[in-house]
Structure 1
Amino acid sequence: MTVKVALRTLLERSVKKMGNGMNPVVKASALEMVERAYNEGITVQISAGYRSLEEQANLFGQGRVYSYKGKNYSNLAKPIVTKAKPGQSYHNYGLAIDFFIVSDDGRRAIWTVNSKWQRAAAIGKGLGFRWGGDWSSFKDYPHLEMTGGLSYTQLQAGKEPRLTFKLEKREMQKTGKGDNHIISIQKTLNGRYEANIECDGFYGPKTRRALIIGLQTELNKQFNKKLVVDGKWGPKTKNATVTIKKGASCKITWILQAALYMKGFNPGTLDGEFGEKTEAALSKYQKASRISADKLAGKVTWNELFA
């Protein structure tokens, strides 16, 4: 008798394949798609998520003569698999995923675009994704993306999409789909800074505003910056930020850890201690954001996190 693969196994594999750098709404929506499909008897797994610019260059170089930033990425022995150069794929911004169907026991990938595949895509579309299988010029059946209407040019310029996890509020409360770590962050923000935000486990504008309120409050307390605590990110708050690095132990470090987690870069335990895991998460975030990966949380990094 064949034992059906566990949902937890599919989710864990999918999280690993998506990697760091995923937009938290896209990541949560992808996992919701896997779970909903599983509940309908369809075993789906995410095969790809965030892809660095160098990884995109390597993929684009398959079947072509191609160099990027002075490095050769040509691989004529393999077939062409993408038309997207570095920066021209929504994977590069954590806004896209690829998926496939697996056998019921979870051991074999099934790449046939059948009724199960189309149903999984329909579930994804219901959660806000656009499906590559609907494209007219080039069918990309494994591909799902959630762009917020932004072009590559806008994303390259640093603009961030405004995405919302598409679950009705009642269903969110009933199923408890929110991220437990984000719920903990929201509770801490309410307790420390009287943020009065809903602890729903999703990163939205109100939680972002509460984090900025926390940062402004701590800058005033610890460094006498005399900022207006309004939760708005403007030039005064940006210029008032301080640089923290490994070894720092304070509530501003906790805010950094929380902000990194919201961006999809896990700093480990959110304890206000700037240790190795926080430093590693910060460095990965800086590289993904294409800012100086100096492992220091200074003005540029704070602005990237909150602007």
Structure 2
Amino acid sequence: MKVELRTLVERSVKKMGKGVDAVVKASALEMIERAYTEGIAVQISAGYRSLEEQAALYGQGRVYSYNGKNYSDPGKPVVTDAKPGQSYHNFGLAIDFFLVSDDGRKAIWTVDSRWKHVAAIGKKLGFDWGGDWRAFKDYPHLEMTGGLTYTQLQAGKKPQLTNLFKTTKASKGDGQIMSIQKTVNSRYKTNLAVDGFFGPKTRTALLKGIQTELNRQYNHRLAVDGKWGPKTKAAMIILKIGAAGPITWILQAALYMKGFDPGPLDARFGSKTEAALSKFQKASNLSADKLAGQETWNQLLA
């Protein structure tokens, strides 16, 4: 089965981290979508990197300490010459990318014509590509500096970056997921960012919703912590066609965010929800019994 664009976006958003510049993030997601429409699956492998993370990276292959902490790891090969504060990753202005197999399961690091085409897409969106550097070729690397040096950034100066494209669905997030996030916030007071991306926080919020409903409807005493532990798993009810209510809505929401359309999110387990559930179970190597039991919930939300 071909990897969904939504899956590539979700993985990439998670890897970029919170510290990445908004324009860099939007441009990276636009690059992923444009490449996808041309039959190339792309993911972001890195975005924002803290100074401590940069120190650990610089310490590989060296004896090195930073801010009184030892980051030495001389047994490994050197991977970067950038000390903390000497990488645009440290300021949220750079990303790294790689290609993905059609099924989304394998990373591809071969720098071929497809790789260079993705880099060209990135350059049209305003990125500078590390593959164009003369001394050290950094083929996965894309950056937007706004013309600022490391010294200027370290001094607190902010780059003025501008989108070079019209915002698209991938860059602004999925509207249905935004609606789900708003509903979860309203029902369960989860304070999610309404960004249209299914990441760990949205998954945790859905679990909190399930735990709340199990306590409310079935008199359980589960901790509403958003964690898929043994007590939550044991308390799960089995849903099948004809079921209705808030937990059915959460099932529909989770299926949608995994890329399996259950039809309208109406809290009613009808034929479309059953078909989506069956497809999800087959794709997850589960028994396609069309019942949302413990193992299905485990695959959806654990």
Q: Give the CA deviation at 1:164.
A: 0.3
Equivalent in the alignment of 1:24: 22
Deviations 1:268-292 (A, max 9, x none): 99xxxxxxxxxxxxxxxxxxxxxxx
What secondary structure, in the 3-state scheme, does the structure 1 residue paired with 2:43 have? strand
Equivalent in the alignment of 1:71: 69
Does the 8 Å contact 2:33/2:170 carry over to 1?
Answer: no
Measure, in 2, the Cα distance between the counterparts of 1:34 and 1:180. 13
Within-5 A mapping of 1:196-275: none
Identity within the alignment, %: 73
- Matched residue type, 1:35: E
What secondary structure, in the 3-state scheme, does the structure 1 residue paired with 2:99 have? strand
Measure, in 1, the Cα distance between the counterparts of 2:39 and 2:93. 26
Change (3 A) 1:180 1:131: closer
- Matched residue type, 2:101: S
Within-5 A mapping of 1:69-148: 69-148=67-146
Residue 164 (structure 1) aligned to one of 143, 162, 165: 162
- Matched residue type, 1:118: K
- Matched residue type, 1:120: V
Within-5 A mapping of 1:39-54: 39-54=37-52
Measure, in 2, the Cα distance between the counterparts of 1:137 and 1:180. 38
Residue 179 (structure 1) aligned to one of 172, 179, 199: 172
User: Structure 1 length normalisation: TM-score?
Assistant: 0.56
Unaligned runs of 5+ in 2: 175-191, 196-200, 206-302
Change (3 A) 1:56 1:123: same
Q: Give the CA deviation at 1:179.
A: 3.4
Q: Give the CA deviation at 1:78.
A: 1.1
Unaligned runs of 5+ in 1: 182-256, 262-266, 270-307
Equivalent in the alignment of 1:8: 6
Deviations 1:7-40 (A, max 9, x none): 0000000000001101000000001101100000
Measure, in 1, the Cα distance between the counterparts of 2:76 and 2:115. 26
- Matched residue type, 1:127: L
The aligned length equals: 182
What secondary structure, in the 3-state scheme, does the structure 2 residue paired with 1:121 have? helix
Measure, in 2, the Cα distance between the counterparts of 1:39 and 1:108. 19
Q: Give the CA deviation at 1:156.
A: 0.3
Larger Rg: 1 or 2? Answer: 2
- Matched residue type, 2:60: Q
- Matched residue type, 2:11: R
What secondary structure, in the 3-state scheme, does the structure 2 residue paired with 1:47 have? strand
Deviations 1:193-233 (A, max 9, x none): xxxxxxxxxxxxxxxxxxxxxxxxxxxxxxxxxxxxxxxxx
Does the 8 Å contact 2:130/2:139 carry over to 1?
Answer: yes
- Matched residue type, 1:12: E
What secondary structure, in the 3-state scheme, does the structure 2 residue paired with 1:38 have? helix
Q: Give the CA deviation at 1:177.
A: 6.3
Equivalent in the alignment of 1:36: 34
Change (3 A) 1:178 1:84: closer
Residue 152 (structure 2) aligned to one of 148, 154, 160: 154
Measure, in 2, the Cα distance between the counterparts of 1:69 and 1:59. 15
Q: Give the CA deviation at 1:95.
A: 0.1
Q: Give the CA deviation at 1:180.
A: 6.8
